[in-house]
Chain A
Amino acid sequence: MRHIISILLENEAGALSRVAGLFSARGYNITSLTVAATEDPSLSRMTLVTSGSDQVIEQITKQLNKLIEVVKLIDLTEGKHVERELMLIKVAVAEPSVRDEVKRLVDIFRGNVIDVTATAYTIELTGPSDKLEAFIAALADVKILETVRSGVSGIARGGKSLHI
């Protein structure tokens, strides 16, 4: 099962490699990982997408909690939550018909074309990962030149928050 683990981490050199090292040393998989400072500059917020059996996920959260720099964590998938991922995707649009088709898809998926040249569009799209994947699938025959994905960020719904 896919899990989104959200972590408050001391904003210190080496903290990220401790988390990444834990995953490689114990053979857990990382689907995506994002990290940046929070409104409190001493803390970083990390969102980590992983998968595994319940037993593996339990071990992952316990092992993460053991790292001294991990201040707090929650498994967002245990409750209602929102997840978003940003994708920048560059497609070839030399043909006018392709240009129209891409424009239409971008509207349907509520994306934005953020850079235009005679031969290429760069599109910005946010949403849950499956929406981004659906967009890629919808592009079908359109030639993709490049995709950049931010990895998932997540947050719990409602008043609940991860803080110290």
Chain B
Amino acid sequence: MELSGADILCRSLAEEGVKYLFGYPGGAVLHIYDAIYKQDKVEHILVRHEQAATHAADGYARSTGKTGVVLVTSGPGATNAVTGIATAYMDSIPMVVITGQVPTNMIGNDAFQEVDSVGITRPCVKHNFLVKDVRDLAETIKKAFHIASTGRPGPVLIDIPKDVTADKTEYHYPESVDIRSYHPVSKGHPRQIKHAVEMMLEAKRPVLYTGGGVVLDNASHYLIELAQKLNIPVTNTLMGLGAYPATERQFLGMLGMHGTYEANMSMHHTDLLIAIGARFDDRVTGNIEKFCPDARIIHVDVDPASISKNVSVDVPIVGTVSNVLKEMLLLLKELEQPAEQKEALVEWWKQIDEWRAMDCLKFTQGDEVIKPQYVVQKLWEITQGDAFVTSDVGQHQMFAAQYYKFDKPRRWINSGGLGTMGFGLPAAMGVQLAHPDETVACITGEGSIQMNIQELSTCLQYSLPIKVISLNNRYLGMVRQWQEFFYQSRYSMSYMDALPDFSALAESYGHVGMRIEKPADVEGALIEAMALKDRLVFMDFVTDQTENVYPMIPAGAGLNEMILV
């Protein structure tokens, strides 16, 4: 049977098992919206801004491991989506973005709502396609899902001109695709793996430094097994939180710019750094010249281009994290030495425990003003560490990463690479849709939340009972902190004046609003909000204006040169 391009798109998405399509209509995609109307396999979620569609699909993807899917119109629809595409690209999130385009015969004519979507997004997608012939559509969709979700995942964009969505052709959805120029490596090199394992058994001061790659590849249980077998301390990047249980003894906390004292000191003093699914980001390494001066480095990553990009490594292993860790565990079983190894690390652990005793995350909650750390800590207690937590970008994001102890992967959802303010609330929508019965909290600031606050309307439409935890310090806090430290407290444009009454605003959107001003009320308010299982609650916590995020490694410093308070 012949189907229109629009119907083929819907059928293909259903074939891919797509449950939710996050989007916003417009002229170039009207045929597609008509096709959506006539089917019931894929549910379309209507956001209030295209950026939110991409973040919602992204949150869905991060919390499930499935590919998030977005549909927007040409021109402004596509450009509005770019921030979300770049956000997903930086954090290697599988996503397929469908953009409408002006009809093929008008491309290049500066037609109404024409923009070169393929050109604009080229540097921030894993790949993109312009489909000029309806006969190529189904196969292109198959390829897009394949590319987005394999190897190092990432967003793939499909630009579809309006006439292609009307044209008809025989529909056949391919079972699989083979792209001759795309065969991501999956198995690590056996000799390199063996070499790495031998080094791990010899090391006196090893550290496992693991990132988002462990989460993306669902390799958490292998990491736990490896770390515990060898008694090696583990630190996670911002993207890797949850991959190793934060409440477990061997966990050192997050590393990097706002990492813990024990994590950063261990990095500085290690003799063997085992980097897994992490990419030596500048927020992690600090000054590259001073990075891990005594260490030999093993690096496991699915993307060869991540290896020896910023820091040259001794043992590169290209492969999926799960495959490589599985191989390592098999080898360890054969070698049967772990017991000795455990003994050998006694000294190292003694040293680490001394660093730990610094208790670098301690803070004092007085009676007057609410400390942001306190809110996150209470949230963690009240949700028993089991909530999905999305965040925006700023101090609140760092407090969330430091004080919410994630014991499971895919629960901590934040924009690490691009640092996109406005990510938190729409991402939480995707998470809540994927996990309707779970608690989803969005930790945000009064600056960030205003970048996509219109999504409160989407949340009402789809009854998404997100708990918005706004740490309202009346400042663009992270900017203010840098100005305090490095610009002699000249607070240029970092003060948030003319703020709305967030509680009333949330109420006007049909949700529950709360304003919490006293430390004594924090716990009760959180308990009350969590009990409102089927309502979105916007909690406006009036927090300490001058609080800073510590520890902090200033630009140009090494990991051992932290500012502690």
Of the stretches B117-125, B255-263, B389-397, the one at the interface is: B117-125
Q: How far is the CB of A113 from chain B (nearest CB, A)?
A: 41
Q: Is A164 interfacial (CB 8 A cutoff)?
A: yes
Query: Assuming A68-B179, A69-B181, A164-B180, is B305 touching A17 (CB within 8 A)?
Result: no
Which A residue sits closest to B179, measured CB to CB? A68
Q: Is B130 interfacial (CB 8 A cutoff)?
A: yes
Q: How far is the CB of B130 from chain A (nearest CB, A)?
A: 7
CB within 8 Å of B: which A1-35 residues:
10, 13-14, 17-18, 21, 25
* B308 touches which of A58, A70, A164 (Cβ 8 Å): A58
Q: Is A97 interfacial (CB 8 A cutoff)?
A: no
Q: Is A157 interfacial (CB 8 A cutoff)?
A: no
Give per-residue flags for B301-327: 1 if the beta carbon is below 8 A from chain A beta carbons, else 0.
001110011001000000000000000
CA distance A65 to B181 in the complex (A): 9
| Contact (Cβ within 8 A) A55 B308 | yes
Which residues of chain B have C-beta atoms less than 8 A from A131's C-beta?
A: none
Q: How far is the CB of A8 from chain B (nearest CB, A)?
A: 8
CA distance A55 to B181 in the complex (A): 24
Which residues of chain B have C-beta atoms less than 8 A from A13's C-beta?
A: 130
| Contact (Cβ within 8 A) B305 A63 | yes
Q: Is A62 interfacial (CB 8 A cutoff)?
A: yes
Q: Is B147 interfacial (CB 8 A cutoff)?
A: yes
CA distance A62 to B180 in the complex (A): 17
| Contact (Cβ within 8 A) A68 B123 | no
CA distance A72 to B119 in the complex (A): 23
Which B residue sits closest to A66, measured CB to CB? B305
Query: Assuming A17-B119, A68-B181, is B304 touching A62 (CB within 8 A)?
Result: yes
CA distance A55 to B288 in the complex (A): 15
Report how many residues on chain A are interfacial, defined by Cβ distance under 8 Å: 20
Interface size class of B (residues with CB under 8 A): 10 to 19
* A21 touches which of B123, B130, B181 (Cβ 8 Å): B123
CA distance A70 to B182 in the complex (A): 8
CA distance A71 to B180 in the complex (A): 7
Which residues of chain A have C-beta atoms less than 8 A from B127's C-beta?
A: 68
* B130 touches which of A14, A65, A164 (Cβ 8 Å): A14
CA distance A69 to B180 in the complex (A): 9
Q: Is A38 interfacial (CB 8 A cutoff)?
A: no
Which residues of chain A have C-beta atoms less than 8 A from B304's C-beta?
A: 62, 65
Q: How far is the CB of A93 from chain B (nearest CB, A)?
A: 44
Query: Assuming A10-B181, A25-B123, is B312 touching A68 (CB within 8 A)?
Result: no
| Contact (Cβ within 8 A) A55 B147 | no
CB within 8 Å of B: which A55-110 residues:
55, 58-59, 62-63, 65-66, 68-72
| Contact (Cβ within 8 A) A70 B181 | yes
Which residues of chain B have C-beta atoms less than 8 A from A55's C-beta?
A: 308, 312
Q: How far is the CB of B504 from chain A (nearest CB, A)?
A: 45
Which A residue sits closest to B309, measured CB to CB? A59
* A18 touches which of B122, B147, B309 (Cβ 8 Å): B122
Q: How far is the CB of A45 from chain B (nearest CB, A)?
A: 14
| Contact (Cβ within 8 A) A62 B181 | no
| Contact (Cβ within 8 A) A62 B305 | yes
CA distance A105 to B181 in the complex (A): 46
| Contact (Cβ within 8 A) A17 B122 | yes
Which A residue sits closest to B156, measured CB to CB? A68
| Contact (Cβ within 8 A) A59 B305 | yes
Q: How far is the CB of A108 from chain B (nearest CB, A)?
A: 45
| Contact (Cβ within 8 A) B181 A66 | no
Sample (15) of A-B pairs whose CB atoms are under 8 Å apart: A13-B130, A14-B118, A17-B119, A21-B122, A25-B123, A59-B305, A62-B304, A62-B305, A65-B304, A68-B127, A68-B181, A68-B182, A70-B181, A71-B180, A72-B181
Which residues of A are in contact with B by a Cβ distance under 8 Å?
10, 13-14, 17-18, 21, 25, 55, 58-59, 62-63, 65-66, 68-72, 164
Which residues of B are in contact with A by a Cβ distance under 8 Å?
118-119, 122-123, 126-127, 130, 147, 179-182, 303-305, 308-309, 312
Given contacts A14-B130, A59-B309, A68-B182, 10 further A-B pairs with CB under 8 A are A10-B181, A14-B118, A21-B122, A62-B304, A63-B305, A66-B303, A66-B305, A68-B181, A71-B180, A164-B180
